[in-house]
Amino acid sequence: MEPIIEVQGAGKSFGGIRVLKDIRFEVKPGEFFGVIGPNGSGKSTLLRLISGVDPLTEGRILLQGREVAGYARKELARWLAVLQQDALPPLGFTVREVVEMGRFPFQNWLGEDREDAAALIDRIMRRLDLEPLADRTVENLSGGQKQRVALAKVMAQQPRLLLLDEPTTYLDIGYQMQLMDYVRQWQREEGLTVVAVLHDLNLAALYCERLLVVHEGEGISIGTPEEIMRSELILDVYGTEPIVLEHPDHGIPQILLRRGD
């Protein structure tokens, strides 16, 4: 199976400072792939390079065998979507209006959709339990509700590739799990490919099939959660040595932190 993403020696510099260097990996269609690493390691910059928002300084990134820079923005948005920490538009829009904005890549210059998307929007609203909030403006929502609306908006794009940029950062643990469960279910049902930058290592291990560790701008390790979630690697990257245990339900490694005393 041909990879949907090929990152070949990718690098990025800002003002002469290299923030990413020689990043190399591939992602297969339908894979749930995670990117982890400390703050400032270059994770979000990598996602911006994959999405085409920022240009590469060196190397190549291919999406479905074609260089990302070769796509027009609207063309790319017809099959790639990005869910960020705070992805909602300015104040005053209702929940349904925000979800409908996900259809923008499919609209002509008159703002008309190529197809009647009302039924699709209805299904997404129902699936994410947003129907009771349809006429509420986004500034009157909780953090968890806002992220559900943001997820509904990218679902309306009907992407084949979804990039998640630390989408659970501002959520409590209940909403974190809810959001990741929605994404995982959607991924499995539609064969969606997901690349997720995640701050929480335990969440990353629970949901991702493979993990890339980025440290000081370099991809230092890649593998399954079992291969990556090792106390010595975490010590090298994060500067703290955790206790690594097997999850009693899923058999996936999870970490417990130690106090400094």
pLDDT tens digits along 74-121: 899 889 999 987 656 667 889 999 999 888 888 665 556 656 788 899
44 domain residue, yes or no: yes
Q: What domain range includes position 12?
A: 1-79+159-224
Q: Which two tokens stand for residue 243?
A: 């206790």
2 and 58 assigned to the same domain: yes
150 and 167 assigned to the same domain: no
The whole-number pLDDT of residue 213 equals 97
Q: What is the 3-state secondary structure (H, E, C) of the chain?
A: CCCCEEEEEEEEEECCEEEEEEEEEEECCCCEEEEECCCCCCHHHHHHHHHCCCCCCEEEEEECCEEHHHCCHHHHHCCEEEECCCCCCCCCCEHHHHHHHHHHHHECCCCCECCCCHHHHHHHHHHCCCHHHCCCEHHHCCHHHHHHHHHHHHHHCCCCEEEEECCCCCCCHHHHHHHHHHHHHHHHHHCCEEEEECCCHHHHHHHCCEEEEEECCEEEEEECHHHHCCHHHHHHHHCCCCEEEECCCCCCEEEECCCCC
46 and 172 assigned to the same domain: yes
258 domain residue, yes or no: no
51 and 152 assigned to the same domain: no
Instruction: Name the β-bridge partners of 8.
Output: 60
Question: How far is it, in rounded angstroms, from Cα 124 to Cα 154?
Answer: 10
Q: What is the CATH number of the domain that holds 215?
A: 3.40.50.300
11 and 52 assigned to the same domain: yes
What's the sign of the alpha-carbon dihedral 231, 234, 235, 236? Answer: positive
210 domain residue, yes or no: yes
86 domain residue, yes or no: no
Helix or strand holding residue 59 (H, E): strand 58-63
13 and 132 assigned to the same domain: no
Q: What is the pTM of this model?
A: 0.92
Q: What is the mean pLDDT of the chain?
A: 91
Mean pLDDT per block of 10 residues along the chain (261 residues) reads 94 93 97 96 95 95 95 90 75 89 76 72 93 92 88 93 90 90 94 96 97 96 97 95 94 91 68
165 and 149 assigned to the same domain: no
209 and 176 assigned to the same domain: yes
Q: For the chain, what is the domain count? A: 2
74 and 140 assigned to the same domain: no
125 and 184 assigned to the same domain: no
